[in-house]
Amino acid sequence: MAGKTLYDKLWEAHVVREEPDGSTLLYIDRHLVHEVTSPQAFEGLRLAGRKPWRGDSVLAVPDHNVPTADRDKGIADPVSRTQVETLESNVTSLGLKFFPMADVRQGIVHVIGPEQGATLPGMTVVCGDSHTSTHGALGALAFGIGTSEVEHVLATQCLWQKKTKAMQIRVEGELRPGVTAKDVVLAIIGRIGTAGGTGYAIEFAGSAIRSLSIEGRMSVCNMSIEAGARAGMVAVDEKTIEYVRNKPQAPTGEMFERAAEHWRTLVSDPDAEFDAVVEMDAAEIAPQVSWGTSPEMVAPIDGRVPDPAAESDPVRAEGMQRALEYMDLKANTPMTEIRPDKVFIGSCTNSRIEDLRAAAEVVKGRKKADNIKLAMVVPGSGLVKQQAEQEGLDRIFLDAGFEWREPGCSMCLAMNADRLEPGERCASTSNRNFEGRQGQGGRTHLVSPSLAAAAAVAGHFIEPSALKEA
């Protein structure tokens, strides 16, 4: 018999009940909640007269709608305010754990889960949010759910699921200097496409993935959904265990050692069989910039905007043409000639301390280019912000003419006041470049933090190593 994949192990450890047709009642250990996808679930619960099954499994935080400036003035938009207030009243009336906007621990739900040790290796983690896959970087089974499922988990601590197929994406070899976790995942999506992982749980493996920090692995797992997969994960190693140690909600002392012993088993067996395997050579991955309106539309920084005329599949060619029109780009333009109007460094993909350090390293001693109307840095949580300020990163950004904001989703999806105006072009460290994602008519180029920082300094896309001496 073949060995087990990491996905098999996580799945089997959470089966409450299995029906003959394979429908499985799966137990959920951690339920993260934010203000956008939860109000209808709490209302449903109330209308049915039900109570949360295990309230201590919940961690709730407002992140999508919160302002990133002038917080003391509250939320100006009354509709956003109502949503945040609704979350607060729902969770406080049920006694659920909650970090309000003024709490230093508040931040993007996928940044604060690992930061608090609320998400641990071996757990099943859900949230009404497709980027829940982020937590898979810790060796957890983490996936996004809809609002009906949020209500179901609140009421029963379980979900009906069918086991999906397992895919291994193996990136072997050494990454070139200047190539980051974000470039790896964008290159993967460019290779397999936005539906390449549909119907699979993806395990990211190989020496290049192992060489990434836990935060880097989070950036990779974060974008599993952009490859179509609900869940992405990385096997546990000593880095995982050291990352989790001393986190506020993690076990301590002897219990920690016992847990760690179990966590070390959370790897795919050497003889495990996957339903699909994708292999990539780390050395071939260049820093990536997206040029279109789907995350698979990426090009290397030293490449050019592709030409739809050279595409043989007519449906694809039409999609490319439509994207180029929306993005106001001409085929064959060198990526380095594209000039953004704004730069956004933030989002659950790239707003952790290492991301901010990487951006600050590029910005240090330099100034924002004149054509960049706004360069903003939005830390992923209040604690990330605090840490960055202790390291003086805020000064580096402010001295270069960047804005230094309060934590939240911000211009990743522009539900708060931070957004692109129609036609504006943005270098963004977020995960989606869909039409209108960062503001109606806005044009998004997905990049890593260091590339975003370099674009802010040069006024166009450029490899940081090619910048003039600071």
Partner 1 sequence: MQAFTVHKGIVAPLDRSNVDTDAIIPKQYLKSVKRTGFGPNAFDDWRYLDPGEPGMDGSQRRPNPDFVLNQAPFDQATILLARKNFGCGSSREHAVWALTDFGFRAVIAPSFADIFFSNSCKNGLLPVVLAEDEVQNLFEQVEANPGAQVEVNLEEMTVTAPDGTVFGFTLDEDRRHRLLNGLDDIALTLQFADDIRAFEERQRREWPWMAL
CA distance linking residue 163 with residue 406, whole number of Å: 39
Residue 129 interacting with ligand SF4 (CB under 6 A): yes
**Residue 427 CB, nearest distance to partner 1 (Å)?**
19
Instruction: Restricting to residues 290-309, name those near partner 1 by CB under 8 A.
Output: 294
CA 227 to CA 232: how far, in whole Å? 10
| Site residues (CB under 6 A) for ligand SF4, limited to 46-85 | 63-64
DSSP 352: S
* Alpha-carbon gap, residue 120 to 262, rounded angstroms: 12
Q: Which residue has the tokens 């301390």?
A: 353
Please report where in the chains the tokens 């995960």 appear, as a residue.
Answer: 431
**Binding test (CB under 8 A) with partner 1, winner from 62, 122, 216, 287:** 122
- Asked if 48 interacts with partner 1 (CB under 8 A), we say yes
Rounded to whole angstroms, the Cα distance separating 255 from 244 reads: 13
**Binding of partner 1 by 228 (CB under 8 A):** yes
Instruction: Examine residue 219 and tell whether it contacts partner 1 (CB under 8 A).
Output: no
Q: Identify what 47 binds: ligand SF4, partner 1, none; CB under 5 to 8 Å per kind.
A: none
Residues 348, 353, 454, 457: which binds ligand SF4 (CB under 6 A)? 348
Residue pair 376/382 in contact (Cβ under 8 Å)? The answer is no
256 binds, among ligand SF4, partner 1, none (CB under 5 to 8 A by kind): partner 1
- The Cα–Cα gap between 178 and 370 comes to 25
Among 10, 108, 426, 456, binds ligand SF4 (CB under 6 A): 108
Order the strands of the 158-161 sheet from edge to edge: 15-18, 24-27, 158-161
330 binds partner 1 (CB under 8 A): no
Of 2, 3, 12, 19, the one binding partner 1 by CB under 8 A = 19
Write out the two tokens for 309: 């005329």
CA–CA distance, 89 with 104 (Å, rounded to integer): 20
- By CB under 8 A, residue 418 contacts partner 1: no
| 144 vs 178 by CB, closer to ligand SF4 | 144
User: Which among 1-9, 72-80, 182-190, 216-224 is the span making contact with partner 1, rule CB under 8 A?
Assistant: 72-80
The span from the CA of 407 to the CA of 27, in Å, is 31
What SS3 class is residue 231?
A: strand
DSSP state of 470: -
Partner from partner 1, ligand SF4, none binding residue 309, C-beta < 5-8 Å depending on class: none
Which C-beta is closer to ligand SF4: that of 320 or that of 356? 356
Query: Binding marks (x or -) toward partner 1, 156..175, rule CB under 8 A?
Result: xxx-x-x-x-----------
Burial class (CB in 10 A: 0-12, 13-18, 19+), 172: middle
Residue ranges in 388-447 that form contacts with ligand SF4 under rule CB under 6 A: 409, 412-413, 430-431
Residue 381 in tokens: 């949580």
Q: Which of 40, 321, 386, 387 touches partner 1 by CB under 8 A?
A: 40
User: Which residues in this chain contact ligand SF4 in the complex, by CB under 6 A?
Assistant: 63-64, 108, 110, 129, 131, 347-348, 409, 412-413, 430-431
